[in-house]
Amino acid sequence: MRQIPGAETRYIDGMNRRDREPLGGAEKSQVFHLAGHDIAASPLPPGLYLVATPIGNLADVTLRALETLAAADLIACEDTRVTRRLLDRYGITTLLTPYHDHNAAAARPKILERLAQGAAVALVSDAGTPLISDPGYKLVRAVQAAGIPVTAVPGASSVLAALMVAGLPTDRFFFEGFLPAKATARRSRIGELAQLPATLVLFESGPRLEAALADLAAGLGERDAVICRELTKLHEETRRDSLPALAQYYAEGGETRGEFVIIVAAPAAAAAEGTDLDALLRRALADSSLKDAVAAVADATGQPRRQIYQRALTLVKEPDAAAD
C-alpha cells in the first residue's frame, strides 16, 4: 500500500507512552487510501461519532467509516495496536487515544474537554459496533449531557452476523453477551434466561466454551443452537446441532481457538407464540408425510424440528391422529 507523503500514525496517551507527530511537523492529511487512490475526507462537524469497524475481515469496513476516521481530530479506541492495523490498511493518520474499561474514568474527562473545544472525536471498539459489550455508553451519556451531538456510523456487528447465518427465528432475540465466568453464577444466570421468549445471543471465549455449553445444555435442554467461530475470518466456522450434541462435540476436542457467538433457540412454547402445536401438526399430518408435516410446522412456528418431531411421533400413535 502506498504511504501518504509526510504522514505517520500518531498516538496520544498511548499504551507504550509513545507520542508521535507527523514526520516533518505537517498537519494530519484528512484522506484515506482505497483501491490505489487517496480520497479526501469531508470535514466533520464537532461531536462524537460512534464508528463500527470490521469484526475480522478488514474489507468489511464501510466507506462512511473510513471517511469519518480520516476526518476526525481524534480516535478513541480500546487498543491502539488493534486500531492501528485498520488505519494502516487504509492510510489513515488520525490521532489515537486509548479508551477502555481500565482507563475510562480518567480518559473520559479528557475526551469531553476536546469535544467542548469543538473537536470531532470518533469512538471505536477493537471489532464491531461500539457500546456492544464495551464501556462506551458512559461516554455517550456524558457527551449527551453536555449538549454535544452524538452520531452513529453503523457497520459490522458479530451479533447480527451470527443471527444472519444461524437459521433460527430472528423476529425476537435477546443479547446476553458473556455469561459469568464462575460456574455457580453462570448456572444461575442460565436459569434466569431459560424462559425468555426469544432467541438467545451469547458471546464466549475459547477457553470457557466447553464449560459454558455444558451448563447451557443442562439448563436449557434439547434446544437447537448454532456456534459461530471466527466470523468473517480465515477459519470461520458455523456448527448447528442441539445444545447437548454441541456440548459433547466440544468436550471431545472440537476446536476452541478463536472468538465465539452462541445462538440458542427460544423455548418451544414461546416459539409457538400462542399457536396450538398439536392442531397444526394434526392438520399437516392429514395431508402430508410425517417428515413433510414436521418440516412445515417447524417453518411456520420457528420451533426446533427435534421437538416437533417427537411431538408428531406421539400424535401419530394416538387414535385418529391424522384427523382434526
Least confident among 1-15, 19-33, 183-197: 1-15
CATH code of the region 23-156: 3.40.1010.10
Q: How many residues does the chain have?
A: 324
| pTM (2 d.p.) | 0.74
pLDDT tens by residue, 31-52: 999 999 999 999 999 999 999 9
Distance, CA of 106 to CA of 309 (rounded, Å): 57
pLDDT tens by residue, 149-186: 999 999 999 999 999 999 999 989 999 999 999 999 99
pLDDT, position 296:
83
The answer to whether 95 and 73 have CB atoms below 8 angstroms apart is: yes
Is the model's pLDDT at 194 over the cut of 60? Answer: yes
Tell me whether domains 23-156 and 159-266 share a fold. Answer: no
User: Can you tell me the mean pLDDT for 272-284?
Assistant: 70
Q: Mention the CATH class of domain 159-266.
A: alpha beta
Q: Is 40 helix (H, G, I), strand (E, B) or coil?
A: strand
Least confident among 116-120, 181-185, 197-201, 266-270: 266-270
148 Cβ partners below 8 Å, 6+ apart?
46, 47, 48, 115, 116
Element of type H or E holding 242: strand 237-242
Q: Where does the pLDDT of residue 280 fall: very low under 50, low under 70, confident under 90, or very high at 90 and above?
A: confident
Q: Is 172 helix (H, G, I), strand (E, B) or coil?
A: coil
Is the model's pLDDT at 324 over the cut of 50? Answer: no
| Domain parsing of the chain, residue ranges | 23-156, 159-266, 271-317
- What count of other Cβ atoms lies within 10 Å of the Cβ of residue 191? 12
pLDDT, position 189:
96
- What count of other Cβ atoms lies within 10 Å of the Cβ of residue 141? 11
Is the model's pLDDT at 275 over the cut of 60? Answer: no
pLDDT tens by residue, 69-103: 999 999 999 999 999 999 999 999 999 999 998 99
Q: The C-alpha cell of 136 is what? A: 462506551
Q: What is the mean pLDDT of the chain?
A: 86
User: Can you tell me the mean pLDDT for 238-259?
Assistant: 96
The answer to whether 93 and 99 have CB atoms below 8 angstroms apart is: no
**Within 13 Å, how many C-alpha atoms sit on residue 279's CB side?**
4
Number of H helices, E strands in the chain: 12, 12
User: Can you tell me the mean pLDDT for 313-320?
Assistant: 76
Q: The C-alpha cell of 269 is what? A: 412454547
Is the model's pLDDT at 212 over the cut of 60? Answer: yes
